[in-house]
C-alpha cells in the first residue's frame, strides 16, 4: 500500500441493498431526501428552542469569548425522545443516557435492513457489514459537565 491506496483494487463484489437516513427538514427517508433535493428546497431553520438557548449566548460584541451570533442551521425535526427502547432490548434508563444520535442511528440501521427486505433473524450470524456515522459529541460533553 502506497500513499494510503491499495496497490490492486479489491475484487470482492459488494452490494448496497438497503438505505436509511435522517437529514434536516422533513428528509427522514431516502425518498423524502430526494424530494427535498430535486425540488430545490432548503432545510435551514432557526435553532429549536427546546434544544439550545441561542439567546443566552448572544452578545453585542461578537468576538467575546463564549458568545455566538448564530441563529439557525439545519436541524432534524423529529422528536428523539420518542425512541422505542424496548424494541432494541434496552431499558428506558439506558436509552435515556444514550446520545440521541446513537438512538437515531439504531433506528436508521434497522430501517436500512428493512429497506433491503432483510429481517433481523436473517442478519443474525450473517456476513453483513453496516456502515454508519455520527458527527458531533456535544451530548456526551453536556452529560459530563458538572452541574452548577
Q: Is 20 left (phi over 0), alpha (psi -120 to 50) or beta?
A: beta
d(CA 11, CA 107): 32
| Chain segment 19-76, per-residue pLDDT in tens | 999 999 899 999 999 999 999 999 999 988 887 788 888 888 878 888 888 889 999 9
Check residue 148 and give its pLDDT. 56
Q: Which pTM value belongs to this model?
A: 0.75
Cβ neighbourhood burial of 27 (10 Å; 0-12, 13-18, 19+): buried
Q: What is the pLDDT of residues 118-136, one digit of tens each?
A: 998 999 999 888 887 777 7
Q: What is the pLDDT of residue 68?
A: 82
Q: Rounded distance, CA 123 to CA 129, Å?
A: 10
Distance from C-alpha of 72 to C-alpha of 45, rounded to nearest angstrom = 5
pLDDT for the residue numbered 60: 81
Amino acid at each position: 500500500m502506497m500513499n494510503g491506496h491499495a496497490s490492486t483494487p479489491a475484487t470482492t463484489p459488494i452490494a448496497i441493498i438497503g438505505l436509511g437516513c435522517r437529514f434536516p427538514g422533513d428528509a427522514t427517508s431516502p425518498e423524502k431526501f430526494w424530494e427535498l433535493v430535486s425540488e430545490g428546497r432548503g432545510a435551514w431553520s432557526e435553532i429549536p428552542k427546546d434544544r439550545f438557548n441561542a439567546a443566552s449566548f448572544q452578545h453585542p460584541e461578537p468576538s467575546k469569548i463564549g458568545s455566538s451570533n448564530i441563529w439557525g442551521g439545519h436541524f432534524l425535526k423529529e422528536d428523539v425522545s420518542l425512541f422505542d427502547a424496548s424494541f432494541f432490548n434496552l431499558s428506558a434508563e439506558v436509552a435515556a443516557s444514550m446520545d440521541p444520535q446513537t438512538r437515531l442511528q439504531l433506528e436508521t440501521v434497522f430501517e436500512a435492513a428493512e429497506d433491503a427486505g432483510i429481517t433481523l433473524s436473517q442478519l443474525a450470524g450473517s456476513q453483513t457489514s453496516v456502515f454508519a456515522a455520527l458527527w458531533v459529541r456535544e451530548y456526551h460533553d453536556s452529560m459530563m459537565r458538572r452541574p452548577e
